[in-house]
Homo-oligomer: A and B are copies of this chain.
Amino acid sequence: MQKQFDELKTRLAEINDLTAAAELLMWDEQTHMPPGGAEARGRQIGTLQRLAHEKLTDERIGHLLDDLSQTMGDLPYASDEASLLRVTRREYEQATRVPGDFVSQVAGHTSATFNVWTKARQANDFAALRPYLEKTLELSLRFAEYFPGRGEAIDPFIDQSDYGMSAATVAALIEELRAELVPLVHAIGAQPLADDQVLWRTYPEAAQLAFGEQVVRQLGYDFDRGRQDKTFHPFAARFSINDVRITTRINENFLSEGLFGTIHESGHAMYEQGVAQALEGTPLAGGTSAGVHESQSRLWENLVGRSRGFWEHFFPALQASFPAPLGDVSLDTFYRAINKVAPSLIRVEADEVTYNLHVMLRFDLERALLNGQLAIADLPAAWNARMEADLGLTPPNDRDGVLQDVHWFSGLIGGGFQGYTLGNVMSAQFFASAQAAHPEIPAQIQAGSFDTLRGWLTENIYRHGAKFTADEVVRQATGARLAIAPYMAYLHSKYDALYNL
């Protein structure tokens, strides 16, 4: 039995190494690679991913899982060993359902679609993309058919990023949340617009990078096991538990982009750095779902990084780093600026309150597409109608509307968005539980100390890696099922005061 278990771990480590190498090739592509390297790099990443897929779907893995589940069936559910068998079984079954030929066909099609999108988006030309998207939808439905027995066509996609959730549970949560958010957005909209012009002054790049690094180091991001590089679209990347890197985009004319982006990515990275060392080289050595991952980036970015207490500690240092733009600015003015709420067209630029409305729109539209209730041809109109209904804005063109996000143009349609809102909702529930266990956390944040909070998150979330599903993590960490109440309570406690509601 031990021998078979060791063989399984050896095989999984090999797959892990191939995947980690592909991740490094992608990180390099986005940070340092000279332009000439693009063509070969695409081929190299494809080769590594294909080999990883071949090795994961090797029938020997299936046999080992079969044998080991019989002999190791009595191990505790939460043990590393039982968790490894459980999660590997899930990944093996997901991977073996989908034929390799289909995976190649999707890769070719989405790569072509992406190339068209990069031009069509600039040209505001949805018509050019329509036939590509129709093919994408067809392929997405075929993908869903490889998983018969799931409720809706979007469910297999949700399984891949947020295992344990379903269209029904996500839609119910979204409906509940939307019913509370839309009135809040409208109430804030009836108040005078917050002034954030202090953020739009000149902030030199080197000082932004240095200040961001100082902040996330203090939060607990470990630079001995990570580093920061510049990129165009920021992301965090893990090559092992002890090498988790963040990337940042600096805008010298808008402070929030780099500053909150850095904190956001360090939240993702602290999660990955906090996984127990014993899980290294296994499928358990990473965050468990898109939602839980996003809960950590958003918790550090918003609940911590956009709180008043946080800036009571950091604002003097920020002023010292940027005397020209901030020397004459009060903490109150700055705090209001970084928490300005206003309906906007672009998801990635949206504030904390309106952000989820952008996400819900996308989830509902892709669900309708996959259920046959919406045609690709009608997608732009449906997008614009929903924007008007929820945010009171109609995009002046498709570039700032349906063409804005890369997701549908670089992969299949489905499952790419719900994690953002699940993460926002979870972030408040986790933070409330941490605070209930350690009421001193807000005072510590005011004093620039984050060890208690990070310790609670590590103990309850980070160290487990992918051992438990999102649902299990939420219940174990908070003692309750996922619920919007803590999130709405957080938003109201903050924004009712800011906007005199």
Contacts and interface: CB of A to CB of B under 8 A. Distances in A.
Q: Can you list the 7 inter-chain pairs with the closest CB atoms, starting with the nearest? A: A37-B243, A40-B240, A36-B225, A36-B242, A17-B47, A17-B44, A21-B21
A36 B280 contact: no
A222 B36 CA distance: 10
Contact of A223 (B22, B34, B229): B34
Interface of A: 13-14, 17-18, 20-22, 24-25, 28, 32-37, 39-41, 43-44, 47-48, 51, 222-227, 229, 239-243, 245, 280-281
Contacts of A240: 36-37, 39-41, 44
B28 A24 contact: yes
Contact of A32 (B13, B222, B227, B242): B227
Given A20-B44, A25-B21, A44-B20, A36 B224 contact: yes
A162 to B, nearest CB: 27
Given A24-B25, A37-B243, A14 B47 contact: yes
- As for how many copies of this chain the complex holds, the number is 2
A281 to B, nearest CB: 7
Contacts of A36: 222, 224-226, 240, 242-243
Contacts of A239: 37, 40-41, 44
A21 to B, nearest CB: 5
A47 B18 contact: yes
A205 to B, nearest CB: 15
A222 B34 CA distance: 10
Contacts of A28: 24, 28
20 contacts: A17-B43, A17-B44, A18-B48, A18-B51, A21-B21, A21-B48, A24-B28, A28-B28, A33-B243, A34-B224, A34-B225, A34-B243, A34-B245, A36-B224, A37-B240, A37-B243, A40-B241, A41-B240, A41-B243, A44-B240
In this complex, the member of A35, A36, A229, A240 whose beta carbon has the largest number of chain B beta carbons within 10 angstroms is: A36
Given A28-B24, A47-B18, A48-B21, A37 B225 contact: yes
Contacts of A32: 32, 227, 229
Contacts of A24: 21, 24-25, 28
A365 to B, nearest CB: 38
Contacts of A226: 34, 36
A41 B225 CA distance: 12
Nearest to A27: B28
A9 to B, nearest CB: 12
Contacts of A25: 21, 24
